[in-house]
Structure 1
Amino acid sequence: MTTKKDTGFDAFFDAITQSPEFKTAMTKDWKKDSIEYLDNTIESMQKGVENAEKIMSEFNKNFATPEAIETGSKYQENTPKSTSISQTKEKEEDSEKLTIEIQRFKKTNEKMWGWNGVAGMDKLKKELSESFIRPLKFKFLIQELRTKKKEENGGQSQEKNTKKNDKKSKELLEKLYSEYEKFKISIPTGMLLYGPPGTGKTFITKKLAEEMNCGFVSKNMGEFGSSYLHQTTKNIKEFFDSVKKAAEKEPIIVFLDEIDSLVSTRGQNADAHKAEEVSQFLQEFNALDESENLIVIAATNRPDHLDSALLRSGRLDKKIYIGPPDFNARKELFQMYIEKKGRPHEALDYERLATLSEEYVSADIKAICEEAARDVSQKLFDFIDEAQDGTLTKKDLQGHKITMKLLENTIKETPSSLKVVDMSIYDNWLEKIS
């Protein structure tokens, strides 16, 4: 009977220790020297451990205070685990997700709400109301009614005592909308506002959001830029994903300011990164057609710098020139920033103010009114001591008003913003696209 041969570690160890080479090596002096060296090393290590314990004991006694321990713990919690600088930067970049801020305006002053707060521009208001505001408001109203109807049918917000008038009203609105839809009218949801700086492009867009009772998202196109490779295109995608998601819940107006800073003309010398960024933007812009509740309004001071691809049909179909205010608009602007704002004033000649401010833009007139109000209010500071010691009288509070003379002087001291603008840019561009 044969015995099974052991092939494990024991067999291996026996084979080594029984070999002639091993026996020869064991007879030499290295064995004794190695053991002594090992003993000395272990003893040295033990002494090192003892010294380290003494050092730590002294450190804890002198420095490891409760405050220091707490600070150290917080630092460790906030310190990235990786020691790689490039990895840390990548993590920080990934964590910096673009967020959008949705503004919802509240009606605090009826005189300044919606179109009431826009001086002049009657032709623009009428055009936008007919082709843009009324159709979209009607569309959003029907969508809201249909959403509520689904919720009621699903039992989410069902009311036992639904008024018959409400039900009939909804049915009639649906019939009216069905008739409107038969005409297959395409409502422009992309608009370009162009014109010189300070003419009120941002202001008009906000007033449009008030008029339509929409959420408002404003984005300066220069904010998309990043020093990291491909990060700009990533920022563009994340922003549009965010606004599309927000528009699932409510109508949103997205205002893209200084659009020429990103989507500028791509010349022969344009680098690959610039082309990639413009391409990404146009791709995201085209996808907005799927979002029914999203309205995009872009603004620029330099329409001649825009990439021609952005101006193609289906993107920014409506192009509106926002120029300097005319005589009536300037008159209304002074009234709006003084009377409607409720600022104390004497009798003012608004026609003369409009004449003196020819070639001034909306922002200039706003600045003039604010500067005049600031000058008058400064005089009230002279009575702080009297107010504190109780000697302030009614007479001290009287006579602090904006005067005609003050406004005339302020206009003289305030140069028009248009002095540094080449107005031919807008005529030439309009002629080109026409």
Structure 2
Amino acid sequence: MPNRSRTGDSAVSPERTKVVITGLGETTALGGDVASTWDAMVRGDSGIHLLDDEPWAKELPPLLGGRVRVEPGPGLEHKQRRRLSRTAQFAVTAASEAWNDAGLDDASVPPQRVAVVVSAALGDMTSIIDGWELLKQRGWKRVPPMTVPMSMGNGSAAAVALLVNARVGVHATVNACSSGTQALVTAADLIRRGDADIVVAGGAEAPLHPMVLSSFAAMRALSQRADDPASACRPYDAERDGMVLGEGAGILVLESEQHARERGARIYAELAGVGISSDAYHMVQPEPNGAGTATAVRASLDDAAVSPADVAHFNANGTATVPGDAAEARAVQAVFGDASQGPAVTANKSMTGHSLGAAGAIESITTILALHHGLVPPTRNFTRLDEDLSVDVVHGTPLKLGNEQIIAVKNSAGFGGHNVALTFRGVAARSVD
């Protein structure tokens, strides 16, 4: 099947299979589903709190985090609660919502045409560390038999595959903090190649473990504003001092446009272009000028056959680290021009925290809803940019998009220099016939 190079070296074929989004599901620090999370984002709420009620809290400096607003247990069967890690419980909760939202709960879908791509940056640290503690304290016979399956990186993907009866394949892309976004690239590839009609894809993560938090603290990557949790995560703000970790999951249902139209599905948006690159610069620091990010964004736009001037909205990686936000802002300027020319930029981690492998998928849902509703949520805690940067950061109140503004880009980056960009097209740009 004719396709297009992600580096933009060949022309778009009119015969290429279009990939559309028909279902959304998530659980975040702002809400237990898509609707509640979206409403909270539009209001500019914060899901960040002091983690002072954990049993380990007294042994560590004050730490912040974005716990899921609704615990997953009540929506799961008893066996699932026992055999699924916390990460996988998030994934199954979000996937169930997305599957139902796509109108597939009662549909007859051949399992040989359904695939799953669900990712996590860490797998599930709690399962394996708790198993290790039991081994030390009570001996090997007390280690839960599902410890290894629960902690594996593909555990969430496998659990979602069982939920939707996927037979094409189960994939778990591990690209650090861009894992959830990379999952959507892999899903689009499966559909474009004709391997699947439906792919359930996204990311899940449960990183609020003392070892994970301590590692990021030792790296000096975390915000120190423990006295004011709601104001701690400040993406793009000149006074930013580090990220805040969060937990949750974002799952999307992707389909070929033909399959979606044939079954009369509601279409949120088209995943029109994908772009990937790598910095090959440093394990945890981004390339200072954002060259790798700019490459991925340009490739995504080229894959979608749109120009930078067509883009109305840019959903940033926006971790609130000093070097990370500066590098991304320079990439935005390099691709789109300064603030007067570029798209409206927003950073959702200011409200949810950074959910690592789930972040890109959660933020892709927000990007899609921004197109769907014509409204860009604000960046919380933003007051002013670094003096040498020029990007248009939405803050204070949501920004209404005009009817003609129907292209948006989602950007993600991860440790190791992973860069992934997605270009979404609002359905109004395409005929529904």
* TM-score normalised per structure 2: 0.21
Structure with higher Rg: it is 1
> What TM-score do the two structures reach when normalised by structure 1?
0.21
Higher relative contact order (CA 8 A, sep 6+): 2
Between Structure 1 and Structure 2, the one with more strand by share is 2
Which structure has more helix as a fraction of its residues? 1
